[in-house]
Amino acid sequence: MEPQPVAKLRTLDKITARTMTFEADVGSTVKFGPLFIKIR
């Protein structure tokens, strides 16, 4: 199995109790609500 340059993130909005799962490439940016998450 080859390593993949992908990150898997699970987020939780504590106000609405909403969860989301993201898969993002290393070097990309993911937006969650007002946050921008940079994958390094």
Per-residue pLDDT reduced to its tens digit, 5-23: 999 999 998 999 999 898 9
* Phi, psi dihedral angles at 34 (to 5 degrees): -85, 0
Say what percent of the chain tops pLDDT 90: 68
Quickly tell me which residue has 């994958």 as its tokens: 39
Query: In the chain, where are the structural domains located?
Result: 6-38
Q: What average pLDDT is seen over the chain?
A: 90
CB hemisphere CA count around 33 (13 angstroms): 11
Do residues 8 and 21 touch, judged by C-beta distance below 8 A? yes
